[in-house]
């Protein structure tokens, strides 16, 4: 009997670890936090990410929960502001979530991600500055992965003079600095002009950027400002002051096309990510379908990464068989070829970054849709 009892207990433990998602949610709840800009100029990005997070949590709970527990989501609004992000992080940490999805803005993350680590909360963060490498994990591209794709485009298009307009935020400044150094090293004449991100009219700064007759204007801003700059560039082009328009990744958002207008957006090339409908795998197709059904609208650019972030965390918890942070975090950091909606996901253990992340060069069609020109992985 003793031997049979041991075999039975071992079998039950194996079943609990191997198939926890099929268990009934009868053992309490596990908290998952989300942080992002839910109001303000970047609210469309933040709410898209929150919806992607909600969708993943809903699917987990419909499948029986996580290790027999219901996943409960709590959310914080950092307004894309570093000081607010510190307060939000402290508030979320005090509720003892297992992990946090976010933040999105690099200027926020460099300040508050260490708070999450110190508070025992594992970040599956959504920032793109290399300054946050090694603080949790991320499935999104980092600036050291995005910049080479942008520079390759510049080389392929044989730029001779480039004007850089840049926002002083952490991510956008870092990308502008990388572009300046890369082009300067190649002997390209480059000028840099810092913009005021609170401005609502960029006509004067665009006219200044075109003073030296650059063939290309590289815009390292977030999309609310980038859309206005695209309009100003289009207006200058009508006056004969034409230059190619290249928008950095932080500008990619459906709201950019709406705000700039299709004609102005169509003039620009973007670095960014394939849109959810362009990933073309079974998980992404289901994501698009279920997002539309759940929220009554098409998904934006970045919510699919939040969706994958939740699934990455859940997969690690299942494999670890526990919500203990030390155990599941090691599973996340040693993820290999996880089937994500954004494609296969591998995480580099030393950095927590995704070496196989897709970075796309995009255009905008005459019908106002992002189209892929090339993909770098």
pLDDT tens for each residue of 53-90 = 999 999 999 999 999 999 999 999 999 999 999 999 99
Q: Retrieve residue 231's tokens.
A: 């309009």
- Phi-psi category of residue 337: left, alpha or beta, with phi > 0 → left and psi -120 to 50 → alpha: left
Q: Is the pLDDT of residue 314 over 60?
A: yes
Of 341, 337, 362, nearest in space to 277 by CA = 341
Percent of the chain with pLDDT over 90: 92
Check for a shared fold between 2-140+278-346 and 143-272+360-376.
yes
DSSP string covering 291-346, please?
HHHHHSS---SSHHHHHHHHHHHHHHHHHHTS--HHHHHHHHHT--SEEETTEEE-
Confidence of residue 376 (pLDDT cuts 50, 70, 90): confident
- Phi-psi category of residue 369: left, alpha or beta, with phi > 0 → left and psi -120 to 50 → alpha: beta
Q: For residue 318, what pLDDT is reported?
A: 97
Give dist(CA 328, CA 319) in Å, integer.
Answer: 8
Q: Is the pLDDT of residue 136 over 80?
A: yes
Terminus-to-terminus CA distance in the chain, angstroms?
57
Give dist(CA 360, CA 374) in Å, integer.
Answer: 6
Q: For residue 27, what pLDDT is reported?
A: 56
CATH class for the region spanning 143-272+360-376:
alpha beta
CATH class for the region spanning 2-140+278-346:
alpha beta
Q: For residue 377, what pLDDT is reported?
A: 73
9-18, 80-89, 159-168, 295-304: which range is least confident on average?
9-18
List, for residues 259-278, the tens digit of each pLDDT value.
999 999 999 999 999 999 99
Q: Is the pLDDT of residue 3 over 50?
A: no
Q: Is the pLDDT of residue 26 over 50?
A: no
Q: Is the pLDDT of residue 353 over 50?
A: yes
Of 140, 121, 118, nearest in space to 129 by CA = 140
Give dist(CA 32, CA 365) in Å, integer.
Answer: 38
Rg, the chain, Cα only: 22
Q: Is the pLDDT of residue 203 over 70?
A: yes
Q: Whole-number mean pLDDT of the chain? A: 92
Q: Average pLDDT in the 178-191 region?
A: 97
Edge-to-edge strand ranges of the sheet holding 29-36? 70-77, 29-36, 99-101, 122-124
Classify 207 as helix, strand or coil.
Answer: helix
Domain boundaries, given as residue ranges, for the chain: 2-140+278-346, 143-272+360-376
Classify 171 as helix, strand or coil.
Answer: helix
For residues 27 and 68, the answer to whether their CB atoms sit within 8 Å is yes
Of 70, 164, 169, nearest in space to 110 by CA = 169
Q: For residue 14, what pLDDT is reported?
A: 35
Residue in this structure with the two tokens 């299709």, named with its chain if needed: 262
Q: Is the pLDDT of residue 114 over 60?
A: yes
């Amino acid at each position: 009997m003793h031997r049979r009892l041991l075999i039975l207990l071992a079998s039950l433990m194996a079943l609990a670890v191997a198939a926890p998602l099929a268990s009934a949610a009868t053992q309490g709840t596990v908290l998952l936090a989300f942080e992002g800009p839910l109001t303000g100029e970047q609210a469309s990005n933040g709410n898209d990410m929150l919806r992607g997070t909600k969708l993943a949590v809903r699917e987990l709970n419909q499948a029986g929960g996580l290790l027999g527990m219901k996943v409960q989501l709590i959310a914080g609004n950092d307004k894309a502001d570093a000081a607010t992000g510190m307060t939000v992080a402290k508030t979320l940490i005090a509720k003892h979530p297992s992990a946090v999805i976010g933040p999105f803005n690099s200027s926020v993350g460099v300040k508050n991600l260490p708070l999450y680590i110190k508070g025992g909360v594992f970040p599956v963060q959504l920032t793109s500055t290399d300054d946050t490498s090694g603080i949790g994990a991320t499935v999104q591209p980092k600036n050291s992965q995005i910049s080479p794709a942008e520079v390759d485009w510049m080389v392929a298009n044989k730029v001779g003079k480039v004007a850089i307009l840049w926002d002083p935020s952490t991510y956008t400044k870092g990308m502008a600095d990388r572009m300046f150094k890369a082009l300067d090293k190649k002997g390209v004449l480059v000028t840099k002009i810092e913009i005021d991100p609170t401005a609502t009219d960029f006509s004067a700064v665009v006219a200044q950027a075109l003073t030296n007759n650059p063939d290309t204007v590289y815009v390292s801003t977030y999309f609310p400002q980038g859309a206005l700059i695209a309009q100003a560039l289009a207006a200058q082009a009508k006056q004969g002051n034409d230059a190619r328009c290249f928008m950095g990744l932080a500008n990619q958002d459906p709201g950019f096309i709406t705000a700039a207008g299709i004609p102005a957006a169509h003039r620009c090339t973007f670095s960014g990510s394939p849109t959810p409908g362009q990933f073309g795998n079974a998980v992404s197709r289901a994501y698009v379908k279920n997002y539309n059904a759940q929220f009554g609208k098409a998904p934006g650019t970045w919510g699919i990464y939040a969706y994958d972030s939740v699934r990455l965390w859940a997969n690690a918890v299942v494999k670890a068989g526990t919500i203990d942070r030390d155990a599941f975090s090691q599973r996340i950091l040693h993820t290999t070829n996880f089937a994500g909606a954004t494609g296969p996901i591998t995480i580099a253990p030393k950095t927590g970054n995704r070496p196989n992340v897709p970075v796309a060069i995009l255009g905008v069609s005459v019908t106002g849709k992002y189209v892929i020109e090339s993909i770098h992985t």
